[in-house]
Amino acid sequence: MDPSKFWGGIIHDDKDTRWRQVAVQLNGPESYSVTILGTAPDSPADTIALLNVKADKMDTIHNFRLPSRNCRLLTGSVVDTYQGPDGTIFRCGSYYTIGFGV
């Protein structure tokens, strides 16, 4: 195994956020979408950072708050999908009522 770093840097200005889950998608040669989920200690909700990384540099970043804490990223064929603590499935600001409860 020969790992190589494709990006490193500051996600956003809030240094207190504890990032706990990452999903990476390859978009093309040296182009990635990185989704990062975390929570600040006193925040009532989780935060998502969506990064586009091209040629080792962050191209764009979007931050938004999820509706609650204890969410998780879902990986699979539907990208940027999240699950709330009650089992609700949603994406960046759009709620899907695919699941009810866990």
* Number of domains comprising the chain: 1
Question: Using only C-alpha atoms, what is the Rg of the chain?
Answer: 14
Question: Has residue 72 been placed in a domain?
Answer: yes
Residues paired with 18 in a beta bridge: 39
Question: Has residue 8 been placed in a domain?
Answer: no
Question: Has residue 10 been placed in a domain?
Answer: no
User: Alpha-carbon distance 79 to 17, whole Å?
Assistant: 23
Question: Has residue 4 been placed in a domain?
Answer: no
Q: Taking CA 35 as the corner, what is the angle to CA 29 and CA 37, rounded to the nearest 5 degrees?
A: 160
Q: Which two tokens stand for residue 16?
A: 């207190």
User: Alpha-carbon distance 44 to 65, whole Å?
Assistant: 10
Question: Has residue 102 been placed in a domain?
Answer: no
pTM of this structure: 0.75
**pLDDT in 10s for each residue of the chain, 102 residues:** 888 777 777 766 667 889 899 888 888 888 888 888 999 889 999 988 888 888 877 777 778 888 889 999 987 767 778 888 998 888 764 444 344 343
Instruction: Provide the residue range defining the domain that includes 89.
Output: 18-96
User: Alpha-carbon distance 34 to 31, whole Å?
Assistant: 10
pLDDT at residue 12, as a whole number:
62
pLDDT at residue 25, as a whole number:
84
Please tell me whether residue 39 adopts helix, strand or coil conformation.
strand
pLDDT at residue 92, as a whole number:
62
Answer for the pair 78, 69: CB distance below 8 angstroms, yes or no: no
Q: Which two tokens stand for residue 30?
A: 């040296």
The torsion angles phi and psi of 52, rounded to 5 degrees, stand at -115, 125
